[in-house]
């Protein structure tokens, strides 16, 4: 008769097993392999051997410091811009959207429905030297004659911002939408101006969305290489471009592996710092 309860004890593990096994085998184990490989030395012609080659890490930082710094700079700017640009819209949909909310959300995620590479190519078209954007900027004198947008850092940051914008806007919307309107009314009842009510009540309550949005934007942005490849020039290359070429073209696996690990370590360190600043419970939900 006790069978019922004994089975119950096992149930969660049976449910978890297939999915967790998959993640363990094809996420954790590969990370282990990557770490192993990052400590190998040798070359592609004679093969690589494990030699505790910590030097890979120091030489990666020494040789590609610029690309590392640029990755985080571009990702940081893109994240801040995406936040500033999409917060008002998320607010507008959450509080003024009414029965159109779902439709407006559809507009927010619409870019996702165009293949990533294709929408980046579209920006290449828009920002190209004889496109209308450059022409207008020439006409109003923002861009000097002969100045261009394509193949500049600005174009790369703009591309990253656009591509990850829905990652920022959606969590912002979700957290704003959950705010009880009566709390804002209560704040106004207690003599808060509309602006004070926003700063003291609405914004703090939307923080979980801000946290989720920044992480979801910053992390993929820091590892991106597509925007730099299609919209930038080699002087705009990020660490993703270096890892990609080491892996796919130069077949210098240990160097690429060590750079991947440095990238991940820096991102994790930033997440932890961020978590300490805003509170952990907002991170994993």
Query: Contact with another protein (CB under 8 A): which of 84, 114, 142, 273?
Result: 114
Query: Contact with another protein (CB under 8 A): which of 45, 47, 62, 115?
Result: 115
Query: Contact with another protein (CB under 8 A): which of 1, 146, 181, 277?
Result: 1
- Return the residues of window 37-56 that contact another protein according to CB under 8 A: 37
Query: Contact with another protein (CB under 8 A): which of 57, 74, 91, 164?
Result: 91
| Interaction between residue 102 and another protein (CB under 8 A) | yes
Query: Contact with another protein (CB under 8 A): which of 45, 47, 62, 113?
Result: 113
- Candidates 15-23, 54-62, 138-146, 202-210: pick the segment binding another protein (CB under 8 A): 15-23
Buried b (16+ CB within 10 A) or exposed e, 158-169: bbbbbbbbbbbb
| Interaction between residue 226 and another protein (CB under 8 A) | yes
Q: Which is nearer to another protein, 110 or 190 (CB)?
A: 110
For 97-243, where are the E strands, in sequence order? Answer: none
Nearest residue to 232 via CA among 170, 171, 151: 151
What is the rounded distance in angstroms from the CA atom of residue 95 to the CA atom of residue 225? Answer: 36
Query: Contact with another protein (CB under 8 A): which of 53, 77, 82, 93?
Result: 93
| Interaction between residue 116 and another protein (CB under 8 A) | yes
Q: How far is the CB of 200 from another protein (least distance, A)?
A: 19
In terms of Cβ atoms closer than 10 Å to its own Cβ (0-12, 13-18, 19+), residue 206 is buried
Dihedral, 180, 181, 182, 188 alpha carbons, nearest 10: 130
| DSSP states along 169-182 | HHHHHHHHHTS-HH
For the chain, where are the E strands, in sequence order? Answer: 40-43, 47-50
| Interaction between residue 103 and another protein (CB under 8 A) | yes
Q: How far is the CB of 31 from another protein (least distance, A)?
A: 5
- Return the residues of window 140-199 that contact another protein according to CB under 8 A: 162, 165
By the 8 A CB rule, do 206 and 83 touch?
Answer: no
Nearest residue to 34 via CA among 265, 266, 270, 239: 265
Segment (H or E) for 263: helix 253-278
Q: Which is nearer to another protein, 98 or 141 (CB)?
A: 98
Q: Which is nearer to another protein, 117 or 190 (CB)?
A: 117
By the 8 A CB rule, do 38 and 261 touch?
Answer: yes
| Interaction between residue 273 and another protein (CB under 8 A) | no
By the 8 A CB rule, do 84 and 169 touch?
Answer: no
Query: Contact with another protein (CB under 8 A): which of 22, 44, 63, 142?
Result: 22
| Interaction between residue 128 and another protein (CB under 8 A) | yes
Q: Up-side HSE of residue 156: CA atoms within 13 Å toward CB?
A: 28
Q: How far is the CB of 222 from another protein (least distance, A)?
A: 6
Query: Contact with another protein (CB under 8 A): which of 46, 98, 99, 249?
Result: 99
| Interaction between residue 30 and another protein (CB under 8 A) | yes
């Amino acid at each position: 008769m006790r069978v019922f309860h004994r089975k119950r004890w096992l149930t969660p593990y049976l449910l978890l097993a297939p999915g967790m096994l998959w993640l363990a085998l094809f996420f954790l184990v590969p990370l282990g392999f990557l770490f192993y490989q990052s400590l190998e030395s040798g070359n592609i012609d004679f093969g690589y051997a494990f030699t505790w080659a910590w030097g890979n890490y120091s030489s990666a930082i020494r040789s590609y410091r610029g690309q590392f710094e640029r990755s985080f700079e571009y990702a940081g700017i893109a994240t801040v811009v995406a936040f500033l640009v999409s917060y008002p819209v998320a607010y507008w949909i959450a509080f003024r959207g009414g029965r159109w909310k779902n439709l407006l959300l559809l507009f927010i995620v619409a870019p996702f429905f165009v293949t990533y590479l294709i929408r980046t190519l579209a920006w290449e078209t828009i920002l190209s030297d004889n496109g209308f954007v450059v022409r207008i900027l020439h006409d109003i004198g923002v861009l000097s004659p002969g100045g261009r947008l394509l193949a500049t850092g600005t174009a790369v940051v703009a591309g990253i911002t656009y591509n990850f914008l829905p990652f920022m806007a959606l969590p912002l919307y979700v957290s704003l939408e959950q705010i009880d309107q009566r709390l804002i009314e209560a704040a106004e009842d207690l003599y808060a101006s509309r602006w004070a009510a926003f700063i003291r009540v609405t914004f703090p309550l939307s923080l979980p969305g801000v946290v989720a949005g920044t992480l979801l934007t910053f992390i993929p942005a820091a590892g991106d290489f597509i925007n730099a490849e299609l919209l930038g020039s080699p002087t705009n290359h990020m660490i993703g471009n270096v890892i990609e070429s080491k892996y796919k073209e130069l077949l210098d696996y240990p160097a690429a592996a060590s750079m991947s690990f440095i990238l991940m370590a820096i991102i994790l360190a930033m997440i932890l710092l961020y978590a300490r600043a805003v509170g952990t419970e907002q991170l994993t939900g």
